[in-house]
Structure 1
């Protein structure tokens, strides 16, 4: 079943065409990554899906409902954790639910504990490392009731080892819940490790150059990075982007 459908989406700023006639479908429980060159319109695409911008042409459907220009329909995790400094970890995690009029504190505490943050349930963001803040931000997105989670390069500011730890943690949590995810990244290895599908955008005006189904079985471990098939797919994606 399709959760998100982008039907012939176009967007301009003045005379500058950013996205043109873009078609994309994301199905229930899929983890889909978007790769593309800098300035190709990835952030604009997320702003359109999130309702911050409206498309000039085309329709954005979420579970069959037109959400053009509608905010609050998706769960969004930006590059920076965007935690409220005056709220505790638990209060930040519950924020998405509270905005929708629901609150499951017991489940939130359970998720925080599974993230290895049991000692920080009532701590404030200033007491957390960068990786810890990203875990809290992802748990907030995961617990929000919207049917689609959009992740905008959430690990780009982390060092390489922390980034790998976060990728493995995100994958383990996602495989338990199988929420529908649209993930923006510049990192080919990250996209291959996490995704069911990889969508490659052209230079602007952005359209879809390629849409690959990734064949690696789940669950996945870091040993995948050393397998021949992984290197073959990395070359394939690299050449498609070129």
Structure 2
């Protein structure tokens, strides 16, 4: 049984169709990226999975249960870190656990230390850099009880080197906790480096046009980005995306 199953999702705003018969699945512990042109409806799909907006038709299943329109079933990290400005770093990362009444402060402090945030536990969001905020936001997702994490272009605002550092940090944490992750990006290199599988969406109205199983072993190292095989996959997916944009 798939961990997450999306079945025939349709979504329109007025007469403008955004999602058209979108179907795919994510297996337990799998890292899957949704790759598509900017404005193709990827974030709308995330809001549907998270129960924040309802589809026109179709259904979302998590571990066999229909969660269509239900909030609280998944952990969602939007493009901006969305930390509460009046809460400290420690209070922010504990928020998901706090909501369900199961706080583990010792584990939170340990993860903050591993994320390079030791000494910032009592700092407020305005005192953190962009990368620090994203680390805190992801730790909050990992600490939350939900088994599926949705990441919506979390590194898009970071410079190239900080972004690569964050990708490697994300993979190191994910490899330990093995939560199912659905990751939205329009960066081909990022999708290949992070993912087990890439699902390519068309321009609006978005539909699934291709799936790629990424063959690289884990753990993934930075030098993978410079190999001929990585470049081959980048060209392959780029050509697919280029056709979509013509």
| TM-score (normalised: structure 2) | 0.96
Partner of 1:38: 38
Question: Cα distance, 1:101 vs. partner?
Answer: 2.1
Question: Cα distance, 1:6 vs. partner?
Answer: 0.5
Which is worse superposed, 232-241 or 123-132?
123-132
Alignment partners' CA distance in 1, 2:85 and 2:43? 25
Partner of 1:231: 231
Aligned residues between the structures:
242
Name stretches of at least 5 consecutive residues in structure 2 with no aligned partner. none
Partner of 1:156: 156
Q: What whole-Å deviation, never above 9, does each CA across 1:33-91 have from its counterpart, x for those lacking one? A: 01101121101100100111111111110111111111111101111111111111110
Partner of 1:198: 198
Partner of 2:181: 181
Partner of 1:26: 26
Q: Secondary structure of the residue that 1:120 maps to in structure 2?
A: coil
Any runs of at least 4 consecutive aligned residues in structure 1 with deviations exceeding 6 A, and if so which? none
Alignment partners' CA distance in 1, 2:23 and 2:124? 41
Partner of 2:123: 123
Name stretches of at least 5 consecutive residues in structure 1 with no aligned partner. none
Q: Secondary structure of the residue that 2:73 maps to in structure 1?
A: coil
Alignment partners' CA distance in 2, 1:52 and 1:86? 24
Alignment partners' CA distance in 2, 1:208 and 1:2? 17
Alignment of 1:82-97 (within 5 A): 82-97=82-97
Partner of 1:81: 81
Instruction: State the superposition RMSD in angstroms.
Output: 0.8
Q: What whole-Å deviation, never above 9, does each CA across 1:98-125 have from its counterpart, x for those lacking one? A: 1122111111111111111111112111
